Amino acid sequence: MNNEISRRSALYALGMAPAAFSVPGLRTHVAIFSKHLLFLHGNDLPEAAAKIGFDGIDLAVRKGGHVAPERVRQDLPPLVAAIRQHHLEVPMLTTDIADVDTPHCEDILRTMSELGIKHYRWGGFKYTNTQPMAAQIEAFKPRVEKLAALNTRYGVGAMYHTHSGINLVGAPIWDLHEILRGMDPKAVGVNYDIGHATVEGGFGGWIDSFRITGEYVRGIAVKDFLWKKNARERWIPAWTPLGEGMVRFPEFFSMVAATRFSGPLQLHFEYPLGGAEEGKGNVANRDEVYAAMSRDLKRLRGYLAEAGL
């Protein structure tokens, strides 16, 4: 263990990062989605993430994120270096990439490849009412194949983030199974959001969706929720602190432990948190925000430890 930690420290000192997020012999690492720390910049970002207790940062490289896509070549390398100097990892980027035609797509892939970042979040496909769903699924496949080829060229992998909602590709997850089937999971996979998966299938649907995704699960996003009625008396999902909602984390992570999953694993904060949940540039009370993040992280580590992760 001590030798492994020394090796990792040496890599950080050289400005390098391990190729995989989870290191054999060490506990599962947890990254924070940088959207929730958008009120911090430069060294303040990794300093806060490290003090809270995170192992890494899922860095938003998208419009309104910590790095603007058109500035990725100039701004991403120094920010990654600052994060690594605090002994944190950058296991993935969150991007607006949908396919190879997304502006600055190749700049992002080239830069992250040069920095040794192996994963990024992609997605955003939507269904329309103009064609049968099966035909639309078939039409997505060539776009994904082109992206997979570009990812292979740069040695990186795209993880389609699963949301819940109407007309969103990936919400039921079986559609991603159809789109990705036969493609290299190292090039294109899924960022499985257990919160959104439970919204879509709270009783047993999330179990089946996780199983069918199989080897294409390349990343996991963590959040919790409860159903509540809105002002129009309609039931909607309401995000909650970890452990206060409907997500069956012990059961889920026991399923994860039975797979070969190796990360990246990200913790999200979508419930009311002084503006941090929305990625605002200012928050009401930073100490309260940090305390809530620390509390959720502690609970997550408890679930992971219970599952042997």
Q: What is the CATH number of the domain that holds 139?
A: 3.20.20.150
Report CA-CA distances (Å) from 19 to 23, 228, 237: 9, 42, 36
User: 255 is in which domain, residue-wise?
Assistant: 2-306
pLDDT of the chain along its 309 residues, tens only? 334 333 443 343 333 333 344 444 457 999 999 999 999 999 999 999 999 999 999 999 999 999 999 999 999 999 999 999 999 999 999 999 999 999 999 999 999 999 999 999 999 999 999 999 999 999 999 999 999 999 999 999 999 999 999 999 999 999 999 999 999 999 999 999 999 999 999 999 999 999 999 999 999 999 999 999 999 999 999 999 999 999 999 999 999 999 989 889 999 999 999 999 999 999 989 999 999 999 999 999 999 999 999
Phi and psi dihedrals of 95, rounded to 5? -125, 175
pLDDT one-digit tens code per residue, 206-261 = 999 999 999 999 999 999 999 999 999 999 999 999 999 999 999 999 999 999 89
- Residue 100 CB coordination number (10 Å): 17
Question: Cβ(32)–Cβ(57) under 8 Å?
Answer: yes
Torsion region of 129: left, alpha or beta (phi above 0 gives left; psi -120 to 50 gives alpha): alpha
Question: Cβ(180)–Cβ(144) under 8 Å?
Answer: yes
Distance CA 243, CA 51 (A): 22
pLDDT one-digit tens code per residue, 71-103 = 999 999 999 999 999 999 999 999 999 999 999
Count of domains for the chain: 1
Give residues with Cβ within 8 angstroms of 78, minimum separation 6.
none
Question: Cβ(79)–Cβ(67) under 8 Å?
Answer: yes
Supply the pTM of this predicted model.
0.90
